[in-house]
Amino acid sequence: MDPHVWREAFKKRWQAAERSNPLPLMVGGRGVGKPQNHGQEWAKMYKARKQIEANWKKGDACATYLNGHTDSVYCVQFDQDRIYTGSRDRTIRIWDIKTYKCVKVIGIPEALSNDRLHRAHPNPNNAPPTPPVGAHVNPNPAGEPDPRIYYTPPLYHEASILCLQLDDEIAITGSSDCTLIMWDIKTWKPIRKLAHHTAGVLDVAFDKDKIVSCSKDSTLCVWDRQSGKLLQKLAGHHGPVNAVQLRGQLVVSASGEGCARLWNLDFQRKLNPFTGDFECSSDAKCIKEFWSKERGLACVEFSDDGKYILAGGNDMIIFKFDARTADQICQMRGHENLVRSLYLDEANGRVISGSYDSSIRVWDFETGHELMNHPAFTNSWMLSAKSDFRRIVATSQDSRAMVLDFGWGVEGADLLNA
C-alpha cells in the first residue's frame, strides 16, 4: 500500500515522455493527475486507468448527446474542463465537460431567437436516432433558453463555422465567410479578423509563432500569430484544401485532388536592429507528395514526432505514410463512405475516424488494425471526432455533439484530471 510504489508504477506505464518540440496542441486531458504530482491517490488512479483501458478494448462506453445547435456541427475541440463546438448555425458553443451543460453561446445577434424558434418548432426531418442500449442521453433542457449565456461580440462569423482550434491563450475559428477570427480564450472577445482567402476557410493549425489556414480556394495562408500579418500564400493544390496540420517547421495539407502535400515553412523571426521590433517571414516549399488511391482527401493527421502522416477521404480508406520517404506503410479499411475526420491520439496508440457512413471507428496506430466500430450513435454524417485517454467527442450533421465516455462509473476516474 506504499503510495510511492503506486506512483512509480503509474508513471512508468502512463506518464510518457514528450515526443516533440514544440509540443502539438493538447486535446482533452492527459490522464496523469495534478501537474505537481503532490498528494495524489496513486493506487486509485492506477486502477482507474487500467479499468478505462479495459473499457476501450471492450468498446464499453456511455453516450451523452449535447443538444443545442440548430444545424450541422462541423468542428469540435475539448480540454479538461470544456467542450467547444462550431456549427452551420453560425455559433460557437461551450459546454461543461462534467455536467454537459451549455455555458456560453458566441456568435450572431439572432442566436437566442433562433434557439427559441427551433425549440418551439423542431425539424421533424432531423430527429435524432434511437440511442444504443445503455446510452445516457442528455435531452434539451425544458423551457426557455437562458439568455445570460448568449454573447454577440463586436466581430463574429456571418456564415458557417467550419473549423476551430485553441490553446491556453487563444482560439481561432474559420468560416464559410472566407475569414478567420482570433479570440481571447478566457473572455471570448475577438482579437482580430484574418481576411485573405477568397472562399471558405476549411481548417486551421497554429503554434506559438505562426498560424496556417487552408481553404476551398485551393490555397494555404501562413500568418504571423503576434501581428496577424499575412506572411505567405501557398499555391500548388488543384482542389479545395480540406485539412492542415502543423509540426514545427513542417506543414501537411490534404486536398480534394487526392494529394497530401508536405511543406517546409522556413519560418523566421528576426529582430530588426533599427526599429527594435521582431519581423517574421516564411519561405515555404513543397518537399513531398502523398497520393490517395483514386479520389480526394478530406482529412489529415501528423504524428507528434513528424515521422508519419495519416490521410483519408473518398476512397473510404485511411492511408498511413512515412513522412520522410512518402512510402505507404498500411491502409485502414472498413468505412463504407467518405472518411471525413481523423484524430491521432499517439499517447494512447489510437486513431479515431469519423465517416459519412455515420460511424466512428478506432484503429491501432502501429498496426492499422481496427479496434472498435461504433455504427449506431447518429443517423447522419459524422463530421468531426477527437479523443483523449478517457473519451471520444464527436459531432454530426444532425445538429448534435456526442460524448462517448469510457470512464463512466469508474471509481477514481475524476482523479486522473485533477
Determine the average pLDDT of the residues in 298-326.
Answer: 96
pLDDT tens digits, 72-103 = 999 999 999 999 999 999 999 999 999 999 99
391-410 per-residue burial string, b: 16 or more CB within 10 A, e: under 16:
bbbbbbbbbbbbbbbbbbeb
pLDDT at residue 129 is higher than 50: yes
pLDDT at residue 127 is higher than 80: no
As a whole number of Å, the end-to-end CA separation of the chain is 21
pLDDT at residue 130 is higher than 70: no
The residue among 161 and 32 whose pLDDT is bigger is 161
In 225-336, where does DSSP find H-type helix? Answer: none
pLDDT at residue 173 is higher than 90: yes
User: Structural domain tally of the chain?
Assistant: 1
pTM as predicted? 0.94
Instruction: Give the confidence band of 20 by pLDDT, cuts at 50, 70, 90.
Output: low
* Residue 296, domain CATH: 2.130.10.10
pLDDT of res. 139: 54
Least confident of 19-28, 34-43, 89-98, 114-123: 19-28
Coil/strand/helix, residue 24: coil
The grid coordinates listed for 412 are 477514481
Instruction: Give the confidence band of 122 by pLDDT, cuts at 50, 70, 90.
Output: confident
Instruction: Give the confidence band of 272 by pLDDT, cuts at 50, 70, 90.
Output: confident
* Three-state secondary structure string covering 307-355: CEEEEEECCCEEEEEECCCCCEEEEEECCCCCEEEEEEEHHHCEEEEEE
Residue 44 CA to its chain's centroid (Å): 30
pLDDT at residue 344 is higher than 60: yes
The pairing of strands 339-345 and 360-364 is unpaired
Least confident of 37-51, 82-96, 193-207: 37-51
pLDDT of res. 296: 96
168-195 per-residue burial string, b: 16 or more CB within 10 A, e: under 16:
eebbbbbbbbbbbbbbebeeeebbeebe
pLDDT of res. 142: 46
The residue among 248 and 278 whose pLDDT is bigger is 248
The residue among 39 and 171 whose pLDDT is bigger is 171
pLDDT at residue 136 is higher than 70: no
Range of the domain at 214: 3-417
